[in-house]
DNA sequence: CCCGACACGGTGC
DNA sequence: GCACCGTGTCGGG
């Protein structure tokens, strides 16, 4: 499978973006280590033949959305690579409207596995499309910020930008 | 409020 | 089999 990729800047730091025939399949912060970001991409999306391509149609569209400030929904085609359970969780995340938040427990119920709360947390953390799949809109039932693969600070900034007040939940 | 203990389900080794 | 975990709940400081 051919996978196109490119690096680009966002308001929250540099990201590595990748897409395949179905759509965008990866977006992750490089954290100043492009080699590691690429290794991560290769681990998650395989088998894959990586080809750098900054003019890939979907990559340029994400770039445009990112440059515009990541305001509102993005409507970009996503290619979900994962176990059936993970894909179910990620699809549930895509149903969360811009500017609203839900709990890990609510996601567990939404996919019909009310007791798999912890596994849901793990699946959310393994989501390949940070920001594009709104994993930052999931908080703990007690209103706590919860975790974030790319650092709590980024999660807070994303929520703040969407106008979510988490201080008194 | 902040622990500690435990149940919980999916995943990787 | 076993040890992880972006959780939740309960009980005790």
pLDDT tens digits, one per residue of A22-64: 999 999 999 999 999 999 999 999 889 999 999 999 999 999 9
Domain finish residue from A34, A67, A100: A67
User: Would you say residue A36 lies in a domain?
Assistant: yes
* pLDDT at residue A165, as a whole number: 72
Chain A residues 123-142, Cβ below 7 A from strand B: 123
Tell me which protein residue sits closest to nucleotide C4, measuring alpha carbon to C1': A122
Note whether residue A167 is domain-resident: no
Question: In the 8-state DSSP scheme, what is residue A97?
Answer: P
Domain count within chain A = 2
Chain position carrying tokens 């393994």: A126
Report the DSSP pairing between strands A2-10 and A49-52: parallel
pTM of structure: 0.95
Q: Which burial class, exposed, middle or buried, applies to A165 when counting CB atoms under 10 A from its CB (0-12, 13-18, 19+)? A: exposed
CA of A155 to C1' of C11 (A): 31
- pLDDT tens figures, A108-145: 999 999 999 999 999 999 999 999 999 999 999 999 99
Say if residue A103 is in the same domain as residue A47.
no
| CA A22/CA A27 separation, integer angstroms | 15
CA of A82 to C1' of B4 (A): 34
Active site residue A25: no
Is residue A43 classed as helix, strand or coil in its secondary structure? helix
Which positions of strand B lie within 7 Å of protein CB atoms?
Answer: 7-12
Q: Are residues A59 and A98 in the same domain?
A: no
* Domain co-membership, A21 together with A57: yes
**Statement: residue A168 has pLDDT above 80:** no
User: For residue A99, what are the domain limits?
Assistant: 84-161
Residues A90, A56 share a domain? no
Query: What is the domain-level CATH number for residue A115?
Result: 1.10.10.10
CATH number of the domain residue A32 falls in: 3.30.160.70
- Domain shared by A34 and A63, yes or no: yes
Looking at the fold, whether A92 and A36 belong to one and the same domain comes out as no
CA of A146, C1' of B10: distance in angstroms:
19
């Amino acid at each position: 499978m051919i996978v196109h990729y490119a690096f680009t800047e966002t308001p929250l730091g540099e990201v590595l973006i990748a897409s395949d025939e179905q759509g965008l399949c990866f977006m992750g912060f490089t954290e100043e280590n492009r080699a590691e970001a690429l290794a991560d991409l290769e681990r998650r999306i395989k088998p894959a033949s990586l080809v750098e391509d900054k003019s890939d149609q979907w990559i340029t569209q994400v770039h445009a959305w990112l440059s515009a400030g990541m305001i509102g929904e993005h409507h970009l085609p996503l290619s979900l690579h994962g176990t059936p359970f993970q894909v179910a969780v990620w699809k549930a995340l895509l149903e969360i409207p811009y500017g609203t938040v839900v709990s890990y427990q609510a996601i567990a119920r939404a996919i019909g596995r009310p007791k798999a709360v912890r596994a849901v947390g793990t699946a959310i953390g393994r989501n390949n499309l940070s920001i594009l799949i709104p994993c930052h809109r999931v908080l703990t039932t007690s209103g706590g910020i919860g975790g974030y693969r790319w650092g709590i600070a980024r999660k807070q900034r994303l929520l703040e930008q969407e106008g979510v007040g988490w201080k008194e939940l």
